[in-house]
């Protein structure tokens, strides 16, 4: 196999860092040739530190801050990953992105100054990522892993949180510069550069928490169930266990359990502490005013625990919007609290009538 030159190794590392602020589940590889071409001119010759910094910032700003630059990078991403043109999936993604853009616009109108560009790629792993220039890509595998648009919206809201706070550009400038400069000026870090940049990317743990918290804010300004924020991480826990995004102690991503628990606490606060979820070994227990309301049965691909967070989200929204002032009632198999649906009962659940009666006693 042909050995890559020093310059090629650096260019690939640069492209990897600049590309992605991915979800913690997976890591997207970076566009190589085209993306490297955009930044490659800064590595074409030995340059001193000051000149390097100027050129690096110029290239990042070109991709991140100009229509031409971000469009070139977007085209490179599509060419590298391939584009899934499935009409159904793209229609779903268009709807989710439209809803999230409107939700984010309620709290951050700057989103309309640089609307997101996005596409579905052909990778079957569970991931989505945001990069420079508000360019996003969603793995087709995300739609296979997640059954509902509410949880997909949480994932994409997280990535858009990175974009709104300009984390990709900040991370690129922070991480690429020192490491590549050390190589360009004779430093002895070649053995560690690719791993260091690939794993850390300059996106810090506080920035990951910020993106998670922004996703919660965006979801609560939309029609999506706020309980999906905790439910998606319960789903990940059910499938993968409690590991951090990079499965090591120095990960820049919080653990899956910590992320779920953070969202559950936010749901409690959102309900003004009327609602919570507790767990035993296999079930999620929905609590209202510290009294047991229900233990949702597993349904489809959802565990009892995952489904409990959706019930919690509905109840939290009911308390937040004052529907708790109305009596709980039944509409078919669905328990209602005012105009807010709470739970649609399935095989294994208690009856809707039983749950409505109980809710009226404890709400």
Q: Are residues 95 and 11 in the same domain?
A: yes
- Rounded CA gap, 61 and 72, in Å? 13
Residue range 281-290, pLDDT digits in tens? 899 999 999 9
Q: Is residue 261 one of the residues assigned to a domain?
A: no
Residue labelled with tokens 């706070």: 165
Q: Residue 50: what pLDDT?
A: 59
Q: Are residues 187 and 311 in the same domain?
A: no
The pLDDT of 13-33, averaged and rounded, is 44
The pLDDT of 185-200, averaged and rounded, is 37
Q: Is residue 42 one of the residues assigned to a domain?
A: yes
Last residue in a domain, options 170, 203, 236: 203
Q: Are 120 and 84 in contact (CB under 8 A)?
A: yes
Q: At what angle do helices 167-184 and 6-19 cross, to 10 degrees?
A: 170
- Rounded CA gap, 87 and 89, in Å? 6
Q: Can you tell me whether residue 162 is helix, strand or coil?
A: helix
Q: Are residues 183 and 47 in the same domain?
A: yes
The pLDDT of 338-359, averaged and rounded, is 98
* Angle at the Cα of 154 from the Cα atoms of 293 and 199, rounded to 5 degrees: 125
Last residue in a domain, options 203, 234, 249: 203
Last residue in a domain, options 203, 220, 243: 203
* DSSP 8-state class, residue 203: -
> 34 versus 270: which is more confidently predicted?
270
Domain total in the chain = 2
Q: Are residues 305 and 175 in the same domain?
A: no
Among the residue ranges 2-16, 131-145, 249-263, 315-329, the one predicted with the least confidence is 2-16
Q: Are residues 31 and 174 in the same domain?
A: yes
Q: Is residue 235 one of the residues assigned to a domain?
A: no
Residue range 226-268, pLDDT digits in tens? 999 999 999 999 988 766 543 434 456 788 999 999 999 999 9
Q: Is residue 225 one of the residues assigned to a domain?
A: no
Intra-chain end-to-end CA distance of the chain, in Å: 68
Q: Are 139 and 126 in contact (CB under 8 A)?
A: yes
- Domain of residue 159: give its range: 6-203
- Rounded CA gap, 352 and 363, in Å? 16
In the predicted structure, residue 41 carries a pLDDT above the cut 70: no
Q: Is residue 136 one of the residues assigned to a domain?
A: yes
Q: Are residues 150 and 282 in the same domain?
A: no
> 85 versus 176: which is more confidently predicted?
85
Q: Are residues 191 and 306 in the same domain?
A: no
- Rounded CA gap, 7 and 18, in Å? 16
Q: Is residue 97 one of the residues assigned to a domain?
A: yes
In the predicted structure, residue 225 carries a pLDDT above the cut 60: yes
- Rounded CA gap, 277 and 266, in Å? 12
Q: Is residue 51 one of the residues assigned to a domain?
A: yes
Q: Are residues 49 and 169 in the same domain?
A: yes
Q: Are residues 25 and 144 in the same domain?
A: yes
Q: Are residues 41 and 176 in the same domain?
A: yes
Q: Are residues 188 and 324 in the same domain?
A: no
The pLDDT of 49-78, averaged and rounded, is 82
Q: Are residues 159 and 303 in the same domain?
A: no
Residue 187, phi then psi, degrees to nearest 5: -65, 155
Q: Is residue 20 one of the residues assigned to a domain?
A: yes
- Rounded CA gap, 62 and 89, in Å? 31
Q: Can you tell me whether residue 342 is helix, strand or coil?
A: strand
> 63 versus 84: which is more confidently predicted?
84
Residue 195 pLDDT grade (very low, low, confident, very high; cuts 50, 70, 90): very low
| Residue 46 in tokens | 């030995």
Query: Mean pLDDT across the chain, nearest whole number?
Result: 82
């Amino acid at each position: 196999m042909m050995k890559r030159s020093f310059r090629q190794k650096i260019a690939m590392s640069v492209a990897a860092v600049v590309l992605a602020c991915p979800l913690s589940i997976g890591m997207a590889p970076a566009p190589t040739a085209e993306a490297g071409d955009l930044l490659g001119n800064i590595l074409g010759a030995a340059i001193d530190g000051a000149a390097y910094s100027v050129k690096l910032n110029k290239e990042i700003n070109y991709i991140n801050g100009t229509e031409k630059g971000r469009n070139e990078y977007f085209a490179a991403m599509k060419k590298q990953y391939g584009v899934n043109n499935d009409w159904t999936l793209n229609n779903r993604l268009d709807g989710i992105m439209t809803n999230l853009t409107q939700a984010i616009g309620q709290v951050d109108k700057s989103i309309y100054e640089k609307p997101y560009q996005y596409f579905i790629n052909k990778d079957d792993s569970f991931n989505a990522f945001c990069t420079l220039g508000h360019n996003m890509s969603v793995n087709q595998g995300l739609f296979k892993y997640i059954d509902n648009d509410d949880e997909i919206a949480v994932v994409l809201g997280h990535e858009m949180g990175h974009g709104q706070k300009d984390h990709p550009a900040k991370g690129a400038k922070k991480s690429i510069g020192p490491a590549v400069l050390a190589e360009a000026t004779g430093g002895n870090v070649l053995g560690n550069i690719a791993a260091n940049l690939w794993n850390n990317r300059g996106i810090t743990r506080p920035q990951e928490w910020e993106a998670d918290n922004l996703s919660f804010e965006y979801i609560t300004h939309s029609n999506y169930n706020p309980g999906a924020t905790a439910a998606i991480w319960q789903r990940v826990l059910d499938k993968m266990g409690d590991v951090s995004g990079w499965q090591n102690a120095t990960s820049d991503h919080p653990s899956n359990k910590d992320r779920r628990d953070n969202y559950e606490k936010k749901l409690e606060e959102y309900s003004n502490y009327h609602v919570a979820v507790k767990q035993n070994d296999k079930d999620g227990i929905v609590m209202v005013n510290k009294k047991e309301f229900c233990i949702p049965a597993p349904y489809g691909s959802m565990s009892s625990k995952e489904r409990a967070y959706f019930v919690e989200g509905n109840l939290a929204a009911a308390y937040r919007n004052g529907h708790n002032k109305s009596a709980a009632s039944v509409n078919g198999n669905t328990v209602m609290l005012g105009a807010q649906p709470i739970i649609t009962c399935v095989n294994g659940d208690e009856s809707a009538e039983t749950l409505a009666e109980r809710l009226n006693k404890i709400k």
